[in-house]
Amino acid sequence: MLKGIANFFHFDELGTNYRTEFIAGLTTFVSMVYILFVNPNVMSASGIDKGAMFTATALATALGCFLMGIIANYPIALSTSLGTNAFFAYSVCVGMKVPWQTALAGTFIAAIIFMILTAFKLRETIIDAIPADLKSAIAGGIGLFIAFLGLNQGGLVVADKATLVTLGSLHVGSTWLTIFGLILTVVLMSARVPAAIFISMVVTTILGMVTGLIALPTHVVSSVPSIKPIFLTAISHVTDINTLQLWIVVFTFLLVTFFDTTGTLVGLAKQAGFIKDNKIPRIGRALGSDSMAMVGGSLLGSSPMGAFVESSAGIAVGGRSGFTVIVTGIFFLLGTFFSPLLGVITDQVTAPALIVIGILMANALRDIHWDKFELAAPSFLIVLGMPLTYSISDGIALGFIVYPISMLAAKRGKEVHPLMYILGVVFIIFFWLLNE
């Protein structure tokens, strides 16, 4: 049986094994488990029951991981996307005063459109149309973005009114826990120690509990909150989407999710070494997996889903097949029963991993033709735009708008795929509508 599973996931072809895939899946889980707590907290601002959203997040993540692992055989986890959940809760529900039930219906409709676009291979066509330089910029930009997330979550970089960002306080114990984890990870990675990131997370967690910086769990097992308050709510409120304003909301859900998950897929595929001749093998299956996950997630009551950048943690420790995220999905299901234990995985534990992963992903920047300004300019805007706008899709938009302009100015307009011209215009309209 084990041999059959290994053959199904092409272990030999991908140069991996059960031990590596298990550690990679567990590492990915540890790196992204915070979503179980962050998503319910964000979504509760809309009025959604926090306990129900906790369970929905776990189930939707497990579903997405299983779909991606089995259908596409990629070590890329799917979960509720950060950014779109904030847009859902704060912009749509709080800002526009749209009931959360109606917003869920909007998510469901966007998911159906998402699946249709995938079925007609439009998303696959767009990915193939993106030039290699911009693909490398997306991968490198995501690296800087998640490194910035790690620096901020770990307390090393904080907001500042005068300078926008500044060095965090070194008089805070939790910041030193981050520094310890970062130094340990760098040492282990430099020494080529297998599973360095995972080992560092475990040691940092233990140190945090010993020093009292991480609270010990009061109990181990808890009951699973009911999903009933939000399950299938999206379908019963589809008819609520009946105004131009709400259709703009649907369009925004669609566009942000489209490029967030597409950009992340490209970046992670680049990190894993899957891209050959500017093509991503099995990309159609990967896109089909995430579109089905988005539909399933909306029915469970989740905000829009997409590929998770923290999958890079599992890839960094050797995950190369879909078995990696099968393991991740199983841990998310188990996590619903052992939620008190998950509380020990604090930001200070995951921050060093994110920073180091950012270093690894920045490697893609070497493939950009920096000596050709018409390619360097849009690539730079993508790379810099992602962390500074705190959005993968906004960073992509900046680069995609400038790319056809710079290529035309360099008299290389004929080399630009027609879709890139269309996307440039679409993103201009998107920015205009989003800032209405």
Q: pLDDT tens digit string along 160-206?
A: 888 999 999 999 999 999 999 999 999 998 998 766 787 888 899 89
Q: Which residue is it, tokens 């906790």?
A: 54
Query: Any bridge partners for residue 306, and if so which?
Result: 79
Q: Which pLDDT value is given to residue 37?
A: 75
At residue 157, the pLDDT reads: 93
Task: List pLDDT tens digits, range 338-357.
Answer: 767 667 777 888 788 888 87
181, 349 in Cβ contact below 8 A?
yes
Residue type, 32: M
Please provide the size of the chain in residues. Answer: 436
Q: Is the dihedral of CA 344, 345, 346, 349 positive or negative?
A: positive
pLDDT at position 194 is 66
Q: How far apart are CA 137 and CA 364, in angstroms?
A: 7
Q: Residues 84-123, buried b or exposed e (16+ Cβ, 10 A)?
A: bbbbbbebbbeeeebebbbbbbbbbbbbbbbbebbeeeeb
pTM of the full predicted structure?
Answer: 0.73
> What phi and psi values does residue 127 have, to the nearest 5 degrees?
-60, -40
What pLDDT score does 330 carry? 95
Check residue 83 and give its pLDDT: 62
Q: What is residue 320's predicted lDDT score, i.e. its pLDDT?
A: 87
Q: Where are the domains of the chain?
A: 2-356, 369-436
What is the reported pLDDT for 324?
94
Q: Which two tokens stand for residue 286?
A: 């990967």
pLDDT tens per residue across span 399-429: 999 999 999 999 999 999 998 999 899 889 8
Residues of the chain with pLDDT below 50 are none
pLDDT reported for residue 342: 64
- Residue 109 has a pLDDT of 92
pLDDT at 393: 73
CB count within 10 Å of CB 414 equals: 7
Give residue 341's pLDDT.
Answer: 67
Residue 332, classed as helix, strand or coil, is helix
- CB proximity list for 313: less than 8 A, separation 6 or greater: 27, 28, 30, 31, 32, 197, 353, 354, 357
Helix (H, G, I), strand (E, B) or coil at 307: strand
Q: How far apart are CA 104 and CA 43, in angstroms?
A: 11
- pLDDT recorded at residue 31: 79
